[in-house]
Amino acid sequence: MMNQRSSLKALAHTLLLWVLLASAAPAMAQTDPLPSWNDGPAKQAIVEFVKATTTPGGAGFVPEAERIATFDQDGTLWVEKPMYSQVIYCLDRVPAVVKARPELANVEPFKTVMSGDREAIAKLSLEDLEKILMVTLTGMSVDDFRAEATKWLDTARDPRWKRPYTELTYLPMQEVLKFLRANGYKTYIVTGGGQDFVRIYAERVYGIPPEQVVGTAAATSYGYDKDGKPFLTKDPRVLLNDNNAGKPEGIYLMIGRRPVAAFGNSTGDRQMLEYTKAGGGARLSMLVLHDDAVREYAYGPAQGLADSRVGTFTQALYDEAKKAGWTVISMKNDWKRIFAFD
Amino acid sequence: MMNQRSSLKALAHTLLLWVLLASAAPAMAQTDPLPSWNDGPAKQAIVEFVKATTTPGGAGFVPEAERIATFDQDGTLWVEKPMYSQVIYCLDRVPAVVKARPELANVEPFKTVMSGDREAIAKLSLEDLEKILMVTLTGMSVDDFRAEATKWLDTARDPRWKRPYTELTYLPMQEVLKFLRANGYKTYIVTGGGQDFVRIYAERVYGIPPEQVVGTAAATSYGYDKDGKPFLTKDPRVLLNDNNAGKPEGIYLMIGRRPVAAFGNSTGDRQMLEYTKAGGGARLSMLVLHDDAVREYAYGPAQGLADSRVGTFTQALYDEAKKAGWTVISMKNDWKRIFAFD
């Protein structure tokens, strides 16, 4: 007992020392939570929003349980050019699917994908891509899907930086995720991409657990294998289309609270940003503008940027942002660094 | 500065005292986490499961992020007899709906409900009830729904105990919820009842936030009011039917992880319990058996209990439980108290 008391006393003295030291280092609390951001209106908007919503007694104070922040993924948290990573995964999966179902080899759009003709593949219509997604993402158990996609994520490399796709996440946005969480926010991904796909790496890449990923989702069916063990199969039927109006609808279904902060980069995020801002009080709606052709890509077509099939940021969206008090983030001007590997 | 140092020194001495006192009270840790449970196999199963899944290095250890426990609501966390509370809410709503839509007054099943004939109302078919639910729960904004249901929950009283329905929650199950949360578990409700309805009171009654309530859900539509302010409308279309196989499907969609523990009370929970148990390792699947006609109700028809339209616990389910290693909770034998107000 004396020994235990002695060691507890030593611990208490350590605590005393720690308390005294802490009082001598108030500067620690001043560490910049967003070191990859240049000073400017975007960084200022984030810092002021966090201060307003977390200061007890302030007009903009939000109780911790209601601190919900939602982030689009493609083009907001990671690179979406030249094509969404998940679409590249699906295209890469086509040969395996055609091997298992040879009748697809001479059917479009699978025939074009199998031809390897990059130009023709790049020209596939949205309808064609949807057919490819349906065939490559469904008709298997959720465990088989997970195993296949995990293998691809571990081995595939993007064409420009020659790195795993999961490394192409924006460092400044990672800082925002951490800054919000350090201030009691629950961070969610609300993506037009596949919920199952993103859930595989969201914890590792963004620190976001699967239950905080909302995305486009296929229905599943519960069944039993030959040993009577239950499993879930991914069905070729879209249950949730988490784009445009589907984003606030998906947020209501999956979270049941209106976000206080929302981040997007395209017309597909418009309704989520409107819905967030309409909550009243201190609200943060932000849009990432891809205007840095040197360090990433420049496409839009807001502000005269090139038109693009992915991540459409129209001038009308830009104008709505300005009018509604959303903040546009210029990758070129607001971000010191784009990637952790820069 | 000296003043600040002095007060910090005083704080450190308080900490020292606290540490010394704590060492003298090891008995505190032994407090029974389930005081409303009689000693027996059910209580033992819960305590042993928690110990197995939270002991680092043990064979059954589950990392904190994966500690998911799911609870059916009606008949598992609160009383479901003589009829599900939400159905009573919908029946109570019929006059207001008929007033707004007089054409329904002479259409069944609304005509029967408006007649006030309790016997005839009790005999309404499941199909009739579904029609009533659809008309009373949809076709309004989510905010209007919330306001209406909140008003009802605040004022309605159950016929037997003359108390708000939200007080009819089982004290022993409340203790399980708290015990699991104190051990790093995230507790979810997975109910065949309406997700929107349960989310209104789940935080207050069960300590479960809206984002951890999974239930049967109608689709919503995003739109704008005359001032251009966005809002969501509840549509008369079932998006998720969270019963039977719909429970593991809903869990996969909304949580994306397999539960480690699951609690139910009827055939509608069978698949959730199977799915949970099939995860392997230390898993807990439990069924509440309503066998206490004196303190609550006795219905089943497992073990010769009376047949019932709600919360069907068949003998086949009882047999599967015994065979699969699920634990059946006898309300009569396992629970010292049923309600906090007993």
d(CA B283, CA A231): 17
Query: What pLDDT is recorded for position A1?
Result: 43
Is the C-alpha dihedral spanning B162, B164, B169, B175 positive or negative?
A: negative
For residue A286, what are the contacts with CB-CB under 8 A and spacing of at least 6? A42, A45, A46, A261, A262, A263, A264, A273, A326, A327, A328, A329
Cα angle for residues B222, B226, B227 (degrees, 5° grid): 95
d(CA A105, CA B271): 38
Query: What ipTM was estimated for this complex?
Result: 0.91
| DSSP assigned state of B38 | P
Q: Contact B313/B266 with Cβ under 8 angstroms?
A: yes
Q: Give A163 to chain B, closest Cα distance, Å.
A: 27
Query: What pLDDT is recorded for position B2?
Result: 45
Buried b / exposed e across B92-131, counting CB within 10 Å, b at 16+?
Answer: ebbeebbeeeeebeeeebbebbeeeeeeebeebeeebbeb
d(CA B40, CA B245): 31
User: Touching check for A228 and chain B: CB below 8 Å?
Assistant: no
SS3 breakdown of chain B: % helix, strand, coil, rounded to 5? 50, 20, 35
Pairing of strands A213-224, A230-240: antiparallel
User: Touching check for A66 and chain B: CB below 8 Å?
Assistant: no
Query: What pLDDT is recorded for position B70?
Result: 98
Over its length of 342 residues, how does chain A's per-residue pLDDT go in tens digits?
Answer: 445 555 556 656 655 555 555 555 444 557 999 999 999 999 999 999 999 999 999 999 999 999 999 999 999 999 999 999 999 999 999 999 999 999 999 999 999 999 999 899 989 998 999 999 999 999 999 999 999 999 999 999 999 999 999 999 999 999 999 999 999 999 999 999 999 999 999 999 999 999 999 999 999 999 999 999 999 999 999 999 999 999 999 999 999 999 999 999 999 999 999 999 999 899 999 999 999 999 999 998 899 999 888 889 999 999 999 999 999 999 999 999 999 998
Convert the pLDDT of each residue in B66-99 to its tens digit.
Answer: 999 999 999 999 999 999 999 999 999 999 999 9
d(CA A331, CA A324): 21
In the predicted model, is pLDDT for residue B63 greater than 90?
A: yes
* Cβ-based contacts under 8 A for chains A and B: 118
* B13: chain A residues, CB-CB within 8 Å: 16
In the predicted model, is pLDDT for residue B124 greater than 70?
A: yes
Pairing of strands B213-224, B230-240: antiparallel
Q: Could you tell me which of A321, A247, A336, A332 has the C-alpha nearest to residue A284? A: A321
Beta carbons of B230 and A209 less than 8 Å apart: no
d(CA A29, CA A22): 10
> B183: pLDDT confidence band, cut at 50, 70 and 90?
very high
Query: What pLDDT is recorded for position B126?
Result: 87
φ, ψ dihedrals at B84, nearest 5°: -50, 135
* B211: chain A residues, CB-CB within 8 Å: 186, 211, 254-257
Average pLDDT over residues B242-269: 98
Query: What pLDDT is recorded for position A280?
Result: 85
Q: Contact B272/B252 with Cβ under 8 angstroms?
A: no
d(CA B136, CA B156): 16
Query: What pLDDT is recorded for position B14?
Result: 58
Query: What pLDDT is recorded for position A10?
Result: 61
Q: Which segment of A31-45, A55-69, B18-32, B48-62 scores lowest on mean pLDDT?
A: B18-32
What SS3 state is found at B46?
helix
Give me the percent of chain B exceeding a pLDDT of 90: 87
Query: What pLDDT is recorded for position B8?
Result: 57
Convert the pLDDT of each residue in B199-212 to its tens digit.
Answer: 999 999 999 999 99
